[in-house]
Amino acid sequence: MKYLCLNSLKRVFPYTGMITAFISSVMNISNTLTKLLLPYVPAYFRKRIIRGRLPDLQTNLDDITFCEACSIEEYMSCFRLLHDVYVKAGFIEPTSPPLRIIRHHSNPEARVFMGCLTDNQAGKTPIYTASLFPDDKQEGLPMDIGFKPQVDELRSQGRRLVEVGCLASHPLYRKGNKHIPMLGNRLLVSYAINTICADDLLITIHPKYLKIYEDILLFEKIGQISSFSYVNNNPAVALRVDLNTVAQRFKEIYGNMPKKKNLYHFFFESGSTPIELPFEENEDEEKVKRYYGADMIERVIAYSATGQILPLTSG
Domain end call among 35, 53, 71:
53
| Residue 93's CATH number | 3.40.630.30
Q: Residue 1 has what pLDDT?
A: 40
What is the distance between the alpha carbons of residues 123 and 144, in angstroms, rounded to a whole number? Answer: 36
Number of domains in the chain: 2
Examine the domain organization and report whether 102 and 145 are in the same domain.
Answer: yes
Is 312 a domain residue? no
Examine the domain organization and report whether 24 and 126 are in the same domain.
Answer: no
Is 313 a domain residue? no
Q: Residue 140 has what pLDDT?
A: 95
* Residues 115, 98 contacting (CB under 8 angstroms): no
Q: Residue 17 has what pLDDT?
A: 55
Examine the domain organization and report whether 39 and 68 are in the same domain.
Answer: no
Q: Residue 41 has what pLDDT?
A: 62
Is 242 a domain residue? yes
- Cα 118 to Cα 65, 87, 132: the distances in Å are 6, 27, 23
Is 100 a domain residue? yes
- Cα 233 to Cα 170, 298, 310: the distances in Å are 23, 27, 35
Q: Residue 231 has what pLDDT?
A: 79
Q: Could you list the mean pLDDT of each consecutive 10-residue stretch along the chain, which spans 315 residues?
A: 44 49 46 58 64 73 84 92 94 92 92 85 81 94 94 97 96 75 91 94 92 91 83 89 96 90 89 61 58 78 65 41
User: Domain range for residue 3?
Assistant: 1-53
Q: Which residues, in sequence order, are CB contacts of 156 under 8 Å at separation 6+? A: none
What is the distance between the alpha carbons of residues 132 and 111, in angstroms, rounded to a whole number? Answer: 5
0.85 exceeded by the pTM?
no
Is 311 a domain residue? no
Q: Measuring CA to CA, which residue among 2, 46, 17 is closest to residue 212? A: 46
